């Protein structure tokens, strides 16, 4: 099922170039499917890229210092087909003005811990969703651990001073499908795993279609020792899912689950809902709706979009970490949608339109929202991307973050101009969050073979 076997496919986004003609030499999904049926001689493709931009960090609310840099970002991508790929590179920021680190030439916060060196690996893929075992390393963006009731829409680089490489493992053995992840392979941080049993396979033998009726158990633990020290946290969840409608290109399913905090009596939650996945050559739609119950401080999606900030200071008026924050008892309605559309259905991962949105409304007046949208225009020469995050809206101490990026390719697509800007929150040594903003503008050039 693509809902439970898509993590390595999604990770391909970090192995391919961003936009425009440079992405065309890489294998498409249709080519990958053909390769699975009759493996051909491995074809190697590569891309080299370098970007040079000005980069400025600005204080907000009177906190912090104004800093300016020249940012140089080299990239090397090697694509060996559906089961191998590597993407290496990282931004290096050379100081022009400002800063409180003694005038160091390179921004110290980008490289001052072992975990920060993980940013050199943007993506390393070994195996595929169709292989019995798959491994992937790199940045985690909008990551979901299978059912998504513990880890959902999680990003491991939301903290602007922490740049780890995460890891994902997937494996299949008979009726058991396993997915495990680490948010930081070089530090003691967030770890999780989910084990999913195919009940139809157990009761009646190998099914014609895998994953129609599953029972899964998941657990996640944050050691809190890298990227800044914060309280540890352990959560567990049990889930059941049944696919009720199966048609060419479309599935509809229902799900239910229960979770809690081991060792914390009275901290539990329950969930019931369903979803629809509709996939075609030009248009993909994934929709999920759930009704949730929270009690004793437990909540679904605890490790979510703002977790790397909330582990220091949760949204709200009290200024405490998410592990220590008291989450009110109540109910919530959760909705998530992913829309992808491409006018020419070229089969690749980049689309003329891609939008992702998650929203949760709570019975006691809180509203959380996390969304991203990217569009390609003028024969993919122009790409505009927006993302935004609102946590705790409707209550005191709400948190809002946003960013925008524009890329315009010219001279045959190999040269491009780019600009990006947005807001940030920097964790401090006191465990608080300091507001800031960033802006960058510059040029890039790439070459694909």
242 has a pLDDT exceeding 80: yes
Please tell me the least confidently modeled range out of 19-28, 96-105, 301-310, 376-385. Answer: 19-28
Token pair listed for 152: 């959902």
Q: Is residue 104 very low, low, confident or very high in pLDDT (cuts 50, 70, 90)?
A: confident
Cα separation values, 315 from 153, 216, 232, 310, 387, Å: 17, 31, 18, 7, 19
> In this model, does residue 17 exceed pLDDT 70?
no
Res 411: pLDDT: 86
What's the pTM value of the predicted model, to 2 decimals? Answer: 0.88
Kindly tell me if the per-residue pLDDT of 36 is higher than 80. Answer: no
- Pairwise CA distance, residues 101 & 65, whole Å: 11
Task: Give residue 101's pLDDT.
Answer: 66
Supply the mean pLDDT for the chain: 88
Rounded CA-CA distance 409/380 in Å is: 8
Distances (CA, A) of 185 to 29, 152, 252, 311: 29, 19, 36, 19
Phi then psi for residue 217, to 5 deg, are: -130, 140
Q: Which residue carries 């070459």 as its tokens?
A: 447
Residue for token pair 């980069």:
55
| Alpha carbons 376 and 343: distance in angstroms, whole number | 10
Q: Distance (Å, rounded) from C-alpha 208 to C-alpha 72?
A: 51
Tens digit of each residue's pLDDT (9 = 90 or more) over 294-333: 999 999 999 999 999 999 999 998 889 999 998 999 999 9
| pLDDT surpassing 60 at residue 3 | no
Residue 427 confidence class, pLDDT cut points 50, 70, 90: very high
**Average pLDDT of span 260-284:** 93
Give the model's pLDDT for residue 86: 95
* Share above pLDDT 90 across residues of the chain, in percent, rounded to a whole number: 75
- For residue 8, pLDDT beyond 80: no
Give the separation between CA 2 and CA 6, rounded to whole angstroms. Answer: 5
Q: 36-40, 122-126, 177-181, 192-196 — which is least confidently predicted?
A: 36-40
Task: State the pLDDT at residue 348.
Answer: 59
pLDDT of the residue at 39: 52
Answer yes or no: is pLDDT of 193 > 70: yes
Write the pLDDT tens digit of every residue in 50-81: 999 999 999 887 677 889 999 999 999 999 88
Task: Name residues whose C-beta falls within 8 Å of residue 332's C-beta, 6 or more positions apart in sequence.
Answer: 291, 292, 294, 360, 361, 362, 363
User: In the prediction, which pLDDT does 351 show?
Assistant: 84
pLDDT at 20: 40
**Residue 204: which residues within 8 A CB-CB, separation 6 or more?**
none
Q: Contact 16/348 with Cβ under 8 angstroms?
A: yes
Q: Judging by beta carbons within 10 Å of its beta carbon (0-12, 13-18, 19+), is residue 357 exposed, middle or buried?
A: middle
19 pLDDT above the threshold of 50: no
The closest alpha carbon to 171, from 196, 141, 138, belongs to 196
Rounded Cα distance between 293 and 333, Å, is 9
How would residue 18 be classed by pLDDT, with cut points 50, 70 and 90? very low
Q: Is the pLDDT score of 29 beyond 50?
A: no
**Contact criterion met (CB below 8 Å) for 269 and 150:** no
């Amino acid at each position: 099922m693509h809902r439970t076997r898509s993590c390595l496919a999604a990770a391909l986004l970090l192995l391919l170039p961003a936009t425009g003609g440079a992405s065309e030499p890489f294998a498409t999904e249709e080519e990958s499917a053909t390769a699975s049926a009759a493996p051909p001689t491995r074809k190697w493709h590569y891309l080299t890229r370098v970007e040079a931009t000005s980069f400025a960090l600005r204080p907000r609310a009177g906190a912090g210092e104004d800093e300016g840099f020249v940012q140089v970002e080299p990239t090397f991508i090697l694509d060996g087909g559906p089961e191998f790929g590597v993407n290496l590179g990282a931004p290096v920021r050379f100081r022009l003005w400002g800063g409180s680190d003694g005038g160091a030439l390179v921004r110290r916060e980008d490289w001052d811990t072992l975990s920060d060196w993980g940013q050199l690996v943007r993506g390393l893929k070994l195996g595929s969703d169709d292989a019995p075992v798959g491994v992937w390393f790199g940045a985690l963006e909008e990551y979901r651990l299978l059912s998504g009731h513990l880890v959902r829409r999680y990003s491991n680089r939301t903290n602007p001073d922490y740049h780890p490489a995460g890891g994902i493992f997937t494996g299949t053995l008979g009726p058991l499908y396993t997915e495990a992840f680490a948010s930081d392979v070089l530090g003691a941080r967030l770890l999780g795993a989910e084990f999913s049993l195919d009940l139809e396979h157990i009761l009646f033998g190998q099914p014609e279609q895998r994953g129609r009726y599953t029972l899964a158990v998941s657990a996640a633990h944050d050691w809190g020792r890298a990227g800044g020290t914060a309280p540890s946290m352990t959560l567990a969840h049990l889930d059941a899912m049944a696919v009720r409608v199966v048609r060419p290109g479309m599935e509809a399913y229902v799900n239910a689950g229960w979770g809690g905090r081991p060792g914390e009596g009275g901290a539990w939650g329950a969930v019931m809902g369903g979803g629809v996945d509709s996939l075609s050559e030009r248009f993909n739609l994934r929709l999920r709706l759930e009704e949730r119950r929270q009690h004793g401080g437990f909540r679904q999606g605890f490790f979510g979009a703002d977790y790397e900030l909330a582990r220091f200071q949760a949204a709200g008026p009290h200024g405490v970490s998410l592990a220590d924050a008291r989450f009110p008892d109540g109910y919530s309605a959760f909705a998530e949608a992913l829309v992808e559309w491409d006018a020419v259905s070229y089969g690749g991962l980049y689309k003329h339109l891609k939008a992702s949105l998650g929203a949760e409304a709570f019975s006691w007046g809180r509203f959380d929202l996390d969304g991203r949208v990217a569009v390609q225009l003028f024969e993919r020469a122009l790409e505009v991307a927006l993302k935004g995050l609102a946590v705790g809206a409707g209550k005191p101490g709400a948190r809002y973050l946003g960013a925008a990026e524009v890329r315009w390719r010219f001279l045959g697509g190999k040269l491009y101009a780019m600009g990006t800007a947005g807001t940030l929150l920097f964790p401090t040594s006191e465990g608080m969050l300091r507001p800031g903003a960033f802006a960058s503008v510059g040029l890039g050039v790439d070459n694909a073979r």
